[in-house]
Amino acid sequence: MEKQLLSLLGNSFKHVLGGIIHALRAILIAGVATAVAVGGATEAIGSAVTQQFPPNGLTHLAAAALAIAFGYAVAITVAIEEILRTIIKAFELVIQEAEKLGKEAITEVEKLGRAAAHDAGAVGRTVITDAGAIGRGVTGVVGGVIGGVGHEARALEQGVASHLPGHHNNMGGVSSTAPTLPSSGSTS
């Protein structure tokens, strides 16, 4: 991230420096060209008006003053234009680099999110598997305890039933014959 930021600053500085050099050239060319054109036009107009060639000293003075003023005005105008153009290009460069960084950041976050989801899914599957194994183990233990209690209850029932009169151990502790009771009408 720091390397990309330094690269962005380096590219911006290089772009701004190139823009400044271009602006200085444009300012110099526009200012000098305008000064020469205005000075020459003033000399020509002064010569035509006074009907003499070369024109007098006041014409030279007026030509120099107009050349300097117009040359300076054009140079400042070009300078402002070039500065604004360079600032706009620098902002465009920063925006492009920021968009690249944003896309890279989104890609990294998506990768991390996928990895986290995958890890969470793996942990969830492990927890579910372990919970199922524990549940099966508990079910087996409870079933064994219930089966043991049931077995012991049958054994206890058979033990008690074997001491009851008229009880015969047929078919798992269930008597097929009923105990005989003395009848009230018979005398023995």
Residuewise pLDDT in 10s, the chain (188 residues): 667 666 766 777 777 777 788 888 888 898 899 999 999 998 888 888 888 878 888 888 888 999 999 999 999 998 888 888 888 887 888 788 778 877 887 888 778 777 777 777 777 777 777 777 777 777 777 777 777 777 777 777 777 667 667 666 554 545 545 455 555 554 54
In a domain, 32, yes or no: yes
Structure pTM?
0.48
In a domain, 65, yes or no: yes
Report the domain count for the chain: 1
Note whether 69 and 89 are within 8 A (CB).
Answer: no
Q: Which domain holds residue 100?
A: 2-109
In a domain, 117, yes or no: no
In a domain, 149, yes or no: no
Residue 63, Cβ density class (10 Å: 0-12 exposed, 13-18 middle, ≥19 buried): buried
In a domain, 40, yes or no: yes
In a domain, 46, yes or no: yes
109 residue type, one letter: V
Phi first, then psi: give them for residue 156, nearest 5 degrees.
-65, -40
